[in-house]
Amino acid sequence: MYYHDYLQLDKILNAQDPESFKEGREPAHDEMLFIIVHQAYELWFKQVLYELEFVMNVFKKTNIDDNSEDLNLVRHRLNRVIKINELLNHQVDLVDTMTPLDFLEFRNLLIPASGFQSVQFRQVEATLGLDMQKRFAKDYYKRTNEGGFLPTDFDKINEIEKQESLLHLINNWLERMPFFELDFWKNYQIHFPLTEHLHPFWSDYRTIYKTGLTEREASKINDFDLIFFNNQGSFTEEQAAAMRPVISAKALKAGLFIMLYRDFPVFQTSYQILDALVEIDHQMATWRHKHLVMVRRMIGMRMGTGNTSGGGYLEGALSKHYVFKDIAGLSTFLIERKKLPKLPQDLIRKLSYN
């Protein structure tokens, strides 16, 4: 094996062909940087998709054995995705070494190509669980004319969306958690008068949460009832629809439970997995923000080469394209550690992930 051949450097190092370097044109020095930075992004997107594929395959199993290496590897590989995202966020600084005037030297040669058409970026989003229907300015995605996707790429993205996303698989995994099976709670000492129809733990927890809310936040108990018990209370249908999570109430109960009791070794890996997913969302939002700020400086209020409104579109995508916001939102419903109900020994002993 020879270094050069192993890495197929002939292909990679001959894959930069700046438009402005072509005959009859004035070479724009910074176009080389522009191409290499984009290519580096695409290589890293490939690695992210590769890691996510592993993670998806674990969660596709109907039973995940706690004693196998699966969950730990998921945690480890999601953390790798986080590290890659950190690197990708730093790469925006490199783009920023190009001034707006440097960019203008070759910008018009790119039209109508744009990062908007990065199929791998869209694959990452769709694999995580971002739906076309929930995107900001979703009509942009349906274009197959100037700035839109090639029909084959559009189909590819839609195909991924039709499959189960990581968000859905996480939902199913959390739903399978056996935490609230009554058998485990026989010896649980209830602290407050039992609220009818509620599991003893949730009855206690609801009371502790409610009494811990400040006067200004007192209405959060209504959110609690809607999110965890599908109890609409005095919310209008419209208000309830806007608040209703994508993740089921059953899965969110398990998610909150893991967050609350994360200090028990038995919950550690699951907690770290949930935390890593929220972190990936945050990293991607950080990228969207850094990219937006860079774009504003680079092109001001001009449209993007991909024919969107430019900064306006990117701002909308930044605020709307979170995937794991239901999990991040669980913090709304935490209580202080010292007030946590003591778990029954039966539960701790018998717990295993499913």
Q: Which residue has the tokens 């018998």?
A: 350
- Helix axis angle for 100-110 and 265-299, nearest 10°, is 90
Among 21, 105, 110, 115, binds ligand HEM (CB under 6 A): 115
Residue 20 lies near ligand HEM (rule: CB under 6 A): no
Q: Amino acid identity of 123? A: Q
Quick one: 118 or 158, whose CB is closer to ligand HEM? 118
How many Cβ atoms sit within 10 Å of the Cβ of residue 37? Answer: 15
- Amino acid, single-letter form, for residue 287: W
Q: Is 130 in the site for ligand HEM (CB under 6 A)?
A: no
Is residue 322 at the binding interface for ligand HEM, with CB under 6 A as the rule? no
Residue number, 89 or 268, with CB nearest to ligand HEM = 89
Decide whether 200 or 304 has the Cβ nearer to ligand HEM. Answer: 304
Contact string 26-65 vs ligand HEM (x = CB under 6 A): -----------xx--x------------------------
The answer to whether residue 126 forms part of the interface with ligand HEM (CB under 6 A) is no
Residues 185, 346 contacting (CB under 8 angstroms): yes
Measured CA distances, 135 to 93, 129, 222, 262 (Å): 27, 11, 28, 33
Cβ proximity to ligand HEM: between 121 and 267 the closer is 121
Give the containing element (helix H, strand E) for 343: none
CA–CA dist 224, 312 (Å, integer): 34
Q: Using the CB atoms, write b or e for 172-184: b if 16+ within 10 Å.
A: ebbbebebbeeeb
Size of the site for ligand HEM (CB under 6 A): 24
56, 127 contact by CB (below 8 A): yes
Which residue has the CB atom at the shortest distance from ligand HEM?
304
- Least separation in angstroms between residue 185's CB and ligand HEM is 45
Instruction: Write the CB contacts of 198 (distance below 8 Å, at least 6 apart in sequence).
Output: 206, 229
Q: How far is the CB of 308 from ligand HEM (least distance, A)?
A: 3
Q: Which residue, 140 or 224, is less far from ligand HEM as judged by CB?
A: 140
Place of tokens 């062909």: 17
Pick between residue 36 and residue 218 the one whose CB is nearest to ligand HEM: 36
Binding characters for ligand HEM, 291-310, by CB under 6 A (x = yes): x---x--xx----xxxxx-x
Question: Which residues fall within 8 angstroms of residue 74, CB to CB, at 6 or more apart?
Answer: 54, 55, 58, 59, 273
Q: Which of 70, 74, 78, 121 binds ligand HEM (CB under 6 A)?
A: 121
Taking contact as CB under 6 A, which single stretch among the options 14-22, 64-72, 193-201, 288-296 is the one that binds ligand HEM?
Answer: 288-296
Residue 168: CB atoms within 10 A of its CB come to 15
How many CB atoms sit inside 10 A of residue 146's CB? 10
Q: Check binding of 351 to ligand HEM (CB under 6 A).
A: no
CA-based Rg of the chain, rounded to a whole angstrom? 24
Nearest to ligand HEM of 31, 275 (CB atom): 31
According to the binding rule CB under 6 A, does residue 128 interact with ligand HEM? Answer: no
Residues contributing to the site for ligand HEM (CB under 6 A): 37-38, 41, 95, 103, 114-116, 118, 121, 288, 291, 295, 298-299, 304-308, 310, 313-314, 317
